[in-house]
Amino acid sequence: MKVVQIPLLRDNYGYLIVCQKTNTAAIVDPSESEPVLRRIEQENVTLTAILNTHHHRDHTGGNEGLLAGNKLEVYGHKSDQGRIPGLTRGVEEGDDITVGELRGKVLFIPGHTTGHVAYLFDNNLFCGDTLFTAGCGRLFEGTAEQMQASLKKLMALPDETKVYCGHEYTESNLRFAMTLEPKNHKLVSRLERVQALRARGLSTVPSTIEEEKHTNPFLRWESKEIQARLKNRTPDLRIDPVSVFAQVRKLKDAF
Ligand code: ZN
Ligand code: FE
């Protein structure tokens, strides 16, 4: 399989998942249709499906334009019927997805929204606005408990899993991470690498699950350095995974 990253809007990414045996493709989170159509033409593939991770407009805004004159399956969580334009395949945890001869799986990961899903094809994870490179999505509809459980589910994937998220937010996410864990050497060197890429206008996505486990503050509820720093500012904070995660999310909201 081949993954084609398409920059959309200001800082969104859509992804073409291409089955090279059949020359068919699915598009993950088309924020807008025009750049996606152009890329499909360049790649010379036939689009068969839209895979939406959640209902937000910056992830579904291209659905209608892609559906005009095309017969496509539109995947999204079954609870998002009526919120995802053109939804034909309401899915849930564990469902199988087919793109040409490629097989993918649905992971249900609520928190950012109540109907958020990820799509996993081999070692490629398309996780929308749940897990970001060095960050995570805001809690718009779900609770901290839900989000922490969703992130924990993603952390259980193999270390080499590639993380294809919905936005290019890595640099500012890492600057926030540095306020909580400045002694984490892997974090310091990741920030340097990311700044060098951004200075050249290059993408910092995908990362890997391994890199996220080592440097993403929203996955590091076990970090003694983060725990100590939070406890310093908020002495009555309980030290358990959900409370630590919720406090990091709260600080990031105000960053
Ligand atoms: Zn979103
Ligand atoms: Fe988004």
Q: Residue 166 CA: which ligand is closest?
A: 2
Q: How far is the CA of 183 from the centre of ligand 2 (A)?
A: 30
Q: What is the pLDDT of residue 69?
A: 83
pLDDT above 90: percentage of residues in the chain: 99
The tens digit of pLDDT for each residue in 116-148 reads 999 999 999 999 999 999 999 999 999 999 999
- The two domains 1-84 and 103-255 share their CATH topology (first three levels equal): yes
Q: Which helix (H) or strand (E) holds 81?
A: none
The per-residue pLDDT of the chain, averaged, comes to 98
Q: Which CATH superfamily is domain 1-84 in?
A: Ribonuclease Z/Hydroxyacylglutathione hydrolase-like (3.60.15.10)
Per-residue pLDDT of 209-248, as tens digits, reads 999 999 999 999 999 999 999 999 999 999 999 999 999 9
Q: Are strands 102-108 and 96-99 parallel, antiparallel or unpaired?
A: antiparallel
Q: Tell me which residues have their CB within 5 A of the ion that is ligand 2.
A: 58, 129, 166
Residues that are catalytic = 54, 56, 58-59, 112, 129, 167
pLDDT in tens, 32-47: 999 999 999 999 999 9
Type of residue at 77: H
**For residues 50-54, average pLDDT:** 98
Q: How many residues are listed for the chain in this entry?
A: 255
Torsion sign, CA atoms 134, 158, 12, 77: negative
- How many Å apart are CA 224 and CA 85, to the nearest integer? 44
Give the domain ranges of the chain: 1-84, 103-255
Tell me, what DSSP letter sits at residue 216? -
Query: What ligand has the least distance to the C-alpha of 167?
Result: 2
Find the DSSP H helices in 81-141: none
For the 103-255 domain, the top CATH level (class) is alpha beta
